[in-house]
Structure 1
Amino acid sequence: MYLDVLDMKRFYEQRLGMVVRTLVGQRIQAQWPDLRGKRLLSLGFTTPYLRPYLRQAERIVAAMPAQQGVMAWPPEGPNRTTLVDDCNLPLPDACIDRALLVHTLDLSNDPMAVLREVWRVLAPGGRLLTVVPNRRSLWSQFETTPFGYGRPFSRGQLSAFLRQTRFVPTAAEGALYVPPFRSRLLTRSASGWERIGHRLWPAFAGVLVVEAEKQIYQAIPKEPEKAAARLLRPVFISDGPPRGTAGTSRHKM
């Protein structure tokens, strides 16, 4: 279940939340360094990660699930946020180039339905980037951050979810190797933890950052020869009169 939007906002205003914003934001920007001319949909609580794209993307729709609540963003300029049903987005088919999901699949009551809906609004060749808590990490075990609530994923589980909803995973990285505690010493050394963690224990990242693509394949009929044979099955018609009528005639008096 989604956390309240005010709780999310408070977390990202704290020291640990600022560390999360920086380290996860670096992984997002590494995957998507340039969104010039792209239409970007974000779903969940994503505003801490959107500012680099404000001047790049052709359009940004920051959709916030109704169970979470909504707040205006950015504080300057036109509002980019909107309240939505995460399983029934108010968008036409194939209208989005990129979709960013943070605090979404792990907190949604029906993550498969969310992915199917995101697939619907993405254009062919469009890309999804999702951030979820890693099942192996301390971040999924402690409720000191939003990543400690909801459903954690292993890399294999997330890949299976994506494939079942017709996405093709294309890239995966980890972030947040610093322990999820509010210690000033830990937060100050978070960048060092990140460098060492990437090299020494990549499987224990706090979150998984996974990209997937919407690919459209032409359907191939199964066993077309057999299907044709059934359609063209011969029907034999006798040359003689119908059975039971030969040699008989009826006359009305």
Structure 2
Amino acid sequence: MYTDIVDLREFYESSLGQVARRMVRRRIRQMWPDLRGQIVLGVGYTTPFLRPFRDEAERVLAVMPASQGISYWPKEGPNIVCLSDEAELPFGDMSVDRVLLVHGLEGTEQLRPMMREIWRVLAGGGRLLAVVPNRRGLWARADWTPFGHGFPYSPSQLKQVLRDTMFVPERTGHALFIPPVRSRFLLRSAPAWEEVGERWFKAFAGVTMIEASKQIFAGVARRSQPVKRRLIVPLPGGAAPAARRLRPDGA
């Protein structure tokens, strides 16, 4: 079940949420340093992480699941967010270059249909970046944050989900090594926590990120029809087949 849009918005407006947004967004930016000329789609609750791409990408769009709710974004311009069933994205086939999936995979009740839709709208050379709560991290146990709701994944589980839905995992990243507490002292030291955690404690990150490419199968050559062979079955009593004609002499 998805976290309600009101709870998501309030979390990212809090001091803890602002730190989480900066740390996750910084790691996303490291994995996607240049998106010039790309069409970027966010699925789930991705607006806190899409802002750096607005002035760079050709176009930025966002979809929020119907059961989660929708929030207008950005406040200073025309809305670029729509509400949709995650299993029926309102975009054409192969119409986007990058898909950012945040607060989506762990909450959906339509995992395979959603991933199939993302596969459908993603261009052949496109990339998906899935961000999910890490099963072994502290944030997956912090139910006062949106990362503590839904189904968390270990890196190996997330890779298996991607493979099962026709994606090829390419790169893995981690973020949110700082404990999910509201201490001002700890929040100010978040960059140091990220640096140490990325080097020594990757297994205990708050979120796991995996970039994946779209798997496209080569066409299979059509096999020629097998040669049919006549099957001769002996009749009981030595009777002649009905199709055999008598010879003129009556034999």
| TM-score of the aligned structures, taking structure 1 as reference length | 0.90
1:234 aligns with 2:229: yes
CA shift at 1:112, angstroms? Answer: 2.1
Identity value in percent: 48
SS of match in other structure, 2:229: coil
Q: Quick check: 1:98–1:126 contact (8 Å CA) kept in 2?
A: yes
1:152 aligns with 2:152: yes
CA shift at 1:235, angstroms? Answer: 3.5
Aligned to 1:56: 56
Aligned to 1:79: 79
Q: Residues of 2 paired with 1:47 and 1:246: CA distance? A: 84
Q: Within 5 A, what are the aligned runs for 1:19-168?
A: 19-168=19-168
Post-superposition Cα deviations, 1:15-49, rounded to whole Å, max 9, x if no partner, equal 11011111000110011111111111101111111
Q: Residues of 1 paired with 2:119 and 2:67: CA distance? A: 21
Count of residue pairs the alignment pairs up: 240
CA shift at 1:7, angstroms? Answer: 0.9
Post-superposition Cα deviations, 1:218-245, rounded to whole Å, max 9, x if no partner, equal 1336xx8xx64x62233479xxxx8334
Q: Residues of 2 paired with 1:212 and 1:198: CA distance? A: 20
Unaligned runs of 5+ in 1: none
Q: Residues of 1 paired with 2:78 and 2:247: CA distance? A: 91
SS of match in other structure, 1:153: coil
Q: Quick check: 1:177–1:205 contact (8 Å CA) kept in 2?
A: yes
Post-superposition Cα deviations, 1:162-203, rounded to whole Å, max 9, x if no partner, equal 011110001001101111111112111111111111112111
Q: Residues of 2 paired with 1:193 and 1:247: CA distance? A: 99
CA shift at 1:94, angstroms? Answer: 0.8
Counterpart residue identity of residue 44, structure 1: G
Post-superposition Cα deviations, 1:123-177, rounded to whole Å, max 9, x if no partner, equal 1111000110000011101212100000000111100100111100010011011
Q: Residues of 1 paired with 2:173 and 2:41: CA distance? A: 21
Q: Residues of 1 paired with 2:180 and 2:55: CA distance? A: 32
Aligned to 1:243: 241
Aligned to 2:193: 193
Q: Residues of 1 paired with 2:169 and 2:16: CA distance? A: 30
Q: Residues of 2 paired with 1:13 and 1:117: CA distance? A: 31
Q: Quick check: 1:125–1:215 contact (8 Å CA) kept in 2?
A: no
Counterpart residue identity of residue 92, structure 1: G
Counterpart residue identity of residue 7, structure 1: D
| TM-score of the aligned structures, taking structure 2 as reference length | 0.91
